[in-house]
Amino acid sequence: MIPTSAKGFLSPQAYGLRNHICMIPCGGLLGDANQYWTKDQLLPYAKYVVNNQIIDNMFKGFIFNGIRAREKHFIYPLFVGFGEPSDITDWLLWADALFLPNLNLNALADVAGNEKRDVWVSIPYPHPFQKSFGTVGGRVLNFLLEDDRLEAVKWWIDQFLVRWNKNAHLHQNLDFRGFLWQREAIDANDEPLAARVNEWIHKKGCLSMWLPNYGSFGVINWNTMGFDVTAVNTNYTGNTSYDYKWIQYSSLFSAAYHTGMQMIWGKGLIYSDNHHLDYWNLGLAAHCGFMTESYLVYQFPNQRLDVLMKSNLVDYVRLYTFIKGLYQRVEYPGIPYN
């Protein structure tokens, strides 16, 4: 049975998890994207920092999402067309990168302090473009075959868990919760694979997460595919044809299908100056109510909080109040809703 809140969203306390989860992308389409996260970069995510002083905690959980592990080889499926699909070398590099000294998981453990954080990691997507992945179990795997794709994913999950168990010092400050399925849409060809992967994840005693786009393939089948935690991206960024009502539409869907919600604060041409305020305003009880009623996942496309806290301290403070359930509506010129 799906643990839900009073309004029908996936409960903020679902499966005993900590709420307010932040996506940490490792790498990007361009070579200068942040791939290895340091303690200084992660500190304002884990802690509420004002004027170089730690005031309180911030995010209670983190998703480390592998985009690339070497130049022109992409783990993240949507970027594969700009380079080469990942192979066994990239998958091993991703597993190794998570445990680098003073970086990524080790950096997060150092800044977590006395309050433990939940951790999730992305499974590399077995892209069908890859016909010669590498040798697993004495065979060169071909991702045109579903069984080979499953074999590769099971192998990688086991590789990660071996490393996690060996790094026992991380367990004091971090709780590993499970694995993220990377693609935001799951079509009919991938649904059986996703379900089989989730069976393996559960067999290992872990949970599975999916972060689909509102209206994407497979989204209404998230539970039947075996996902435990699903949080919907509204598709709203402020400077496209998808207006603020998509937050409302997505919240109605999420309440009906018992998913969580994603909070977006991005940088770039498609992101308006006030799109993040729309998420926070519409999350209030007077509107959609997901601020306190839903499991929430936060993404910061094309920017980092250690930079934002210096360039936009006011909204960094507002973000903190939203996480704490204390946020109050912010007006801005031309706001399109009452």
Could you read off the pLDDT tens digit of each residue along the chain, which spans 338 residues? Answer: 899 999 999 999 999 999 999 999 998 877 666 789 999 999 999 999 999 999 999 999 999 999 998 888 889 988 887 888 999 999 999 999 999 999 999 999 999 988 999 999 999 999 999 999 999 999 999 999 999 999 999 999 999 999 999 999 999 999 999 999 999 999 999 999 999 999 999 999 999 999 999 999 999 999 999 999 999 999 999 999 999 999 999 999 999 999 999 999 999 999 999 999 999 999 999 999 999 999 999 999 999 999 999 999 999 999 999 999 999 999 999 999 99
Q: Which two tokens stand for residue 317?
A: 């403070």
pLDDT digits (tens, 9 = 90+) for 119-150: 999 999 999 999 999 999 999 999 999 999 99
The residue written with tokens 């367990």 in the block is: 171
Three-class HEC string of 4-69? ECCCCCECCCHHHCCCCEEEEEECCCCCCCCCCCCHHHHHHHHEEEECCEEEEECCCEEEEEECEE
Helix%, strand%, coil% for the chain, nearest 5? 35, 20, 45
In contact, 274 and 265? CB cutoff 8 Å: no
Residue type present at position 77: P
pLDDT at 81: 78
* Residue of 45, 43, 204, 39 whose CA lies nearest to 123: 204
pLDDT at 84: 87
pLDDT at 171: 97
**How far apart are the C-alpha atoms of 223 and 68, rounded to whole Å?**
29
pLDDT at 32: 65
Domain 14-323 indexed as CATH 3.30.460? no
**How far apart are the C-alpha atoms of 41 and 260, rounded to whole Å?**
26
The residue written with tokens 């070398």 in the block is: 89
pLDDT digits (tens, 9 = 90+) for 252-303: 999 999 999 999 999 999 999 999 999 999 999 999 999 999 999 999 999 9
3-class DSSP state for residue 150?
Answer: helix
The CA dihedral of 29, 31, 33, 35, to the nearest 10 degrees, is 100
Query: Could you count the other beta carbons within 10 Å of the beta carbon of residue 30?
Result: 8
pLDDT at 226: 98
The CA dihedral of 52, 57, 61, 65, to the nearest 10 degrees, is -10
* Residue of 97, 122, 62 whose CA lies nearest to 305: 62
